[in-house]
């Protein structure tokens, strides 16, 4: 294996012998193979789309083939062929999503099946396929020990770095686009970029400059995807409201939901109504409590535990079934494997899986019946935390915020969005939050907040010192807040606002969030706890020169430069 896509990669360089995240060598290689095959599929899809306008026979033949294919979904039967399939596969390769070799073997077969079906249609309709990349014709038997497959398949260090950066950004887009799609929101430009970006990573004619432009474009599509997901979430569940969320437990058995999927928790809330089973959130599901259409369920009890990496201890003590809707899953302990369930593209061999039915619904009755036989959760802590400061609610108190800045009660906003992780160096973020001057406000989103959201940092004239906008994708909300504040202060450039950025990253959605912030013109981002291993020195130079990105150092010095 050679994987360096996340912040916890071995020695800050790459996982080569064992994976820090726990995936096996076989799964790491199958993920590389799937990505390679998807790049070939993207090139074939693109060719088909380009040919369709002049060739109605081609369209009919492809549609007929897709209709008969088990892998294609109804969304695939439009102009952007196989978008849902590709997004789901890409999401499955994000860190801590799927650990099952069978899953990846099946997806490779399906991808090749889809690709070859479309290739037949292209050839039979006279479309020239000679210029397609090698990845568009590779067979399953040629995938292992294939030097074109995997990160090291690209020899030039800068090109490799840019190709990987683009691929990880596209994985982030795919994850957020998946969440929007299941709520019925899609955008053809996003689908097209996924295709275009993947094809670019196997195009040997592209220069480093052209790849750099695509990486920056990826950030722009990231903004568009996060905006689409924001629209999907708020139109479906209402605008998040500031809410005090209970941390203690009730006396009934419960089901714990982790990951990021609001639709899954909504259907579980519906199916558990009146059953005597409570529902709790874990980690990135915390914002569920802030959406009007989700918080209305009285058996949505509270949030249990902290960040994703603490799940081994917390899931053990929860006593009831646990549903993992997306990342971050860690290899489970025996003490709760039989109570753990995955869904969507999450997978782990030997763990129960709730699959989507043909009509798009999911049946959680097995988990509900199991919960009824379980003890209530063991209490971990007491009290409450406040969340729900996405752009609408934060901007509803904009006048108060602006006055507090003008009167000198707030000197600075520090955006501390991103991810948490298991390494000790993340303690930096707790200490940074604790040592910030009392007249500063933290704007946060993502699981990074668990390093400081339970500290008693107080408020400034009723404005909490930690304003939590929601999940990692809601980092977009923080920039909307910054843009509106800039307007209110009559500033043309958001960098002139009293806002600094100290971002923590872990996996590939956070890579996209970073690219999105750069696209929105944010300069001077401090990034940690380590810089991405996949960013080669020359690529880092671009980030430094163009955007003044730097690594975090120590709490004292960073407070001096950021406040």
Interacting residues with ligand FSO (CB under 6 A): 260, 283-284, 308, 327-328, 419, 446-447, 471-472, 506-507, 509-510
Q: Work out how close the CB of 420 gets to ligand FSO at its nearest, in angstroms, rounded to a whole number.
A: 6
23-52 footprint of ligand SF4 as x/- string (CB under 6 A): x----x------------------------
436-475 footprint of ligand SF4 as x/- string (CB under 6 A): ----------------------------------------
Identify what 346 binds: ligand SF4, ligand FSO, none; CB under 5 to 8 Å per kind: none
Q: Work out how close the CB of 95 gets to ligand SF4 at its nearest, in angstroms, rounded to a whole number.
A: 4
Angle at 267 between CA 357 and CA 372, to 5 degrees: 100
If the CB atoms of residues 272 and 281 are measured against ligand FSO, the closer one turns out to be 281
Q: Is 4 in the site for ligand SF4 (CB under 6 A)?
A: yes
Identify what 66 binds: ligand FSO, ligand SF4, none; CB under 5 to 8 Å per kind: none
Identify the sign of the CA torsion 503, 22, 91, 450: negative
Q: Is 115 in the site for ligand SF4 (CB under 6 A)?
A: no
> What does the block give as tokens for 346?
């999450």
Q: Work out how close the CB of 142 gets to ligand SF4 at its nearest, in angstroms, rounded to a whole number.
A: 24
Q: Is 344 in the site for ligand SF4 (CB under 6 A)?
A: no
Q: Work out how close the CB of 23 gets to ligand SF4 at its nearest, in angstroms, rounded to a whole number.
A: 6
Q: Using an 8 Å Cβ cutoff, are 11 and 529 in contact?
A: no
Q: Is 19 in the site for ligand SF4 (CB under 6 A)?
A: yes
Alpha-carbon dihedral 128, 198, 9, 306, rounded to 10 degrees: -140
* Closest C-alpha among 444, 484, 400, 470 to residue 243: 470
Residues in the interface with ligand SF4 (CB under 6 A) total 13
Q: Work out how close the CB of 269 gets to ligand SF4 at its nearest, in angstroms, rounded to a whole number.
A: 32
Identify what 290 binds: ligand FSO, ligand SF4, none; CB under 5 to 8 Å per kind: none
What is the Cα Rg of the chain in Å? 23
Distance CA(84)–CA(107), nearest Å, equals: 13
72-111 footprint of ligand SF4 as x/- string (CB under 6 A): -----------------------x----------------
* Closest C-alpha among 470, 428, 427, 430 to residue 447: 470
* Closest C-alpha among 246, 260, 259 to residue 295: 246
If the CB atoms of residues 329 and 480 are measured against ligand FSO, the closer one turns out to be 329
Residue 65, C-beta contacts closer than 8 angstroms, at least 6 positions apart: 117, 118, 120, 121
**Only segment of 12-20, 144-152, 214-222, 373-381 that touches ligand SF4 (CB under 6 A):** 12-20
Tell me the CB-side half-sphere exposure of residue 266, using CA atoms within 13 A.
Answer: 16
If the CB atoms of residues 230 and 507 are measured against ligand FSO, the closer one turns out to be 507
Distance CA(309)–CA(303), nearest Å, equals: 15
If the CB atoms of residues 202 and 285 are measured against ligand FSO, the closer one turns out to be 285
Strands (E), 425-510: 440-444, 459-460, 463-464, 466-468, 499-504
If the CB atoms of residues 19 and 285 are measured against ligand SF4, the closer one turns out to be 19
Residue 207, C-beta contacts closer than 8 angstroms, at least 6 positions apart: none
Q: Using an 8 Å Cβ cutoff, are 500 and 562 in contact?
A: yes
Identify what 471 binds: ligand FSO, ligand SF4, none; CB under 5 to 8 Å per kind: ligand FSO
Q: Which long-range contacts (CB under 8 A, 24 or more apart) does 143-150 make?
A: 143/33, 143/36, 143/37, 143/108, 144/29, 144/33, 146/36, 148/36, 149/32, 149/33, 149/36, 150/2, 150/29, 150/32, 150/36
**Only segment of 8-16, 447-455, 477-485, 545-553 that touches ligand SF4 (CB under 6 A):** 8-16
For strand 459-460 and strand 322-324, is the pairing parallel, antiparallel, or unpaired?
unpaired
Q: Is 309 in the site for ligand SF4 (CB under 6 A)?
A: no
Distance CA(292)–CA(329), nearest Å, equals: 27
Q: Which of 12, 21, 97, 536 binds ligand SF4 (CB under 6 A)?
A: 21
If the CB atoms of residues 97 and 469 are measured against ligand SF4, the closer one turns out to be 97
Identify what 419 binds: ligand SF4, ligand FSO, none; CB under 5 to 8 Å per kind: ligand FSO
Identify what 3 binds: ligand SF4, ligand FSO, none; CB under 5 to 8 Å per kind: ligand SF4
How many CB atoms neighbour CB 560 within 10 A?
A: 9
Question: Footprint of ligand SF4 on this chain (CB under 6 A)?
Answer: 3-6, 8-9, 15, 19-21, 23, 28, 95
């Amino acid at each position: 294996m050679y994987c360096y896509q996340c912040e916890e990669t071995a020695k800050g360089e790459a996982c080569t012998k064992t994976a820090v995240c726990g995936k096996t060598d076989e799964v790491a290689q199958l993920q590389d193979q799937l990505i390679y095959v998807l790049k070939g599929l993207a090139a074939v899809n693109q060719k088909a789309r380009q040919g369709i306008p002049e060739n109605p026979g081609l369209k009919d033949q492809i549609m007929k083939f897709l209709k008969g294919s088990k892998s294609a979904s109804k969304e695939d039967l439009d102009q952007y062929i196989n978008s849902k399939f590709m997004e789901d596969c890409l999401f499955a390769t994000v860190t801590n999503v799927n650990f099952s070799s069978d899953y990846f073997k099946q997806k490779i077969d399906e991808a090749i099946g889809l690709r070859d079906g479309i290739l037949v249609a292209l050839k039979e309709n006279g479309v020239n396929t000679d210029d397609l990349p090698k990845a568009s014709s590779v067979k399953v038997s040629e995938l292992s020990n294939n030097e074109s497959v995997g990160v090291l398949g690209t020899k030039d260090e800068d090109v490799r770095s840019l190709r990987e950066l683009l691929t990880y950004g596209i994985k982030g887009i795919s994850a957020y686009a998946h969440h929007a799609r299941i709520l019925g929101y899609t955008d053809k430009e996003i689908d097209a970029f996924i295709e275009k970006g993947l094809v670019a990573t196997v195009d040997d004619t592209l220069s480093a400059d052209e790849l750099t432009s695509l990486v920056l474009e990826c950030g722009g599509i990231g903004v568009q995807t996060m905006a689409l997901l924001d629209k999907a979430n708020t139109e479906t569940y209402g605008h998040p409201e500031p809410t005090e969320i209970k941390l203690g437990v009730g006396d009934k058995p419960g089901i714990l939901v982790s990951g990021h999927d609001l639709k899954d928790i909504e259907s579980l809330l519906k199916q558990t109504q009146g059953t005597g089973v409570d529902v709790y959130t874990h980690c990135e599901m915390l914002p569920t409590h802030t959406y009007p259409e989700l918080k209305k369920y009285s058996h949505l009890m509270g949030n249990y535990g902290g960040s994703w990496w603490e799940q081994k201890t917390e899931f053990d003590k929860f006593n009831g079934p646990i549903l993992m809707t997306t990342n971050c899953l860690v290899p489970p302990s025996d003490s709760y494997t039989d109570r753990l369930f995955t869904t969507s593209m999450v997978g782990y061999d030997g763990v129960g899986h709730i699959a989507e039915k043909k009509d798009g619904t999911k049946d959680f009755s097995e988990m509900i019946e199991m919960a009824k036989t379980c003890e209530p959760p063991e209490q971990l802590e007491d009290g409450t935390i406040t969340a729900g400061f996405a752009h609408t609610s934060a901007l509803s108190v904009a006048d108060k915020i602006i006055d507090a800045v003008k009167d000198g009660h707030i000197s600075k906003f520090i955006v501390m969005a991103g991810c948490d992780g298991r390494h000790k160096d993340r303690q930096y973020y707790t200490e940074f939050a604790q040592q910030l001057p009392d007249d500063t406000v933290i704007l946060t989103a993502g699981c990074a907040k668990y390093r400081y959201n339970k500290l008693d940092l107080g408020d400034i004239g009723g404005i909490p010192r930690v304003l939590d906008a929601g999940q990692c994708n809601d980092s977009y909300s923080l920039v909307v807040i910054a843009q509106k504040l800039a307007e209110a202060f009559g500033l043309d450039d958001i960098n002139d606002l009293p806002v600094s950025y100290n971002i923590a990253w872990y996996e590939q959605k956070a890579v996209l969030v970073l690219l999105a912030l750069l696209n929105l013109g944010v300069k001077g981002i401090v990034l940690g706890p380590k810089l991405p291993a996949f960013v080669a020195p020359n690529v880092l130079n671009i980030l430094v020169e163009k955007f003044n990105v730097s690594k975090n150092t120590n709490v004292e010095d960073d407070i001096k430069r950021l406040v």
